[in-house]
């Protein structure tokens, strides 16, 4: 997950692993395969990633429910209820 800071830099906000149904996962995988790229969008995001990460262009916008947005900017207890069609990636700002 990520957001753009005031300077327009893409920043990592953690990972989300719950809230997905099998149907959502299939559809999301199909969409993300079309956006695949070879490398992470930034070195900071690459450093925070799991070893077996797959990279995509930061275009899809997800709605994420969470319990806290702490000082370190990594969302606590994130849950994925779905994608948003009404926003562009650059609109997701802190």
Q: What is the pLDDT of residues 58-83, one digit of tens each?
A: 899 999 999 998 888 889 999 999 99
Structure confidence at residue 51 as a pLDDT band (50, 70, 90): confident
SS3 68: strand
- Is the pLDDT at 52 greater than 90? The verdict is no
Q: Which domains does the chain have, with CATH numbers?
A: 2-91 (2.40.50.140)
In whole angstroms, what is the distance from residue 78 CA to residue 64 CA?
Answer: 6
CB-count burial class (<10 Å; 0-12, 13-18, 19+) for 41: middle
Q: Token digits for 69?
A: 């947005």
User: Is this prediction's pTM over 0.85?
Assistant: no
Give residue 45's pLDDT band: very low, low, confident or very high (50, 70, 90). Answer: confident
């Amino acid at each position: 997950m990520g957001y753009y800071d005031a300077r327009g830099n893409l920043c990592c906000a953690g990972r989300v692993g719950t809230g997905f149904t099998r149907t959502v996962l299939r559809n999301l995988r199909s969409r993300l395969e079309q956006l695949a790229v070879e490398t992470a969008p930034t070195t900071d995001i690459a450093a925070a990633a799991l070893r077996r990460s797959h990279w995509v262009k930061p275009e899809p916008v997800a709605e994420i429910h969470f319990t806290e947005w702490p000082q370190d900017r990594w969302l606590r207890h994130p849950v994925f209820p779905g994608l948003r069609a009404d926003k562009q990636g650059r609109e997701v700002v802190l």
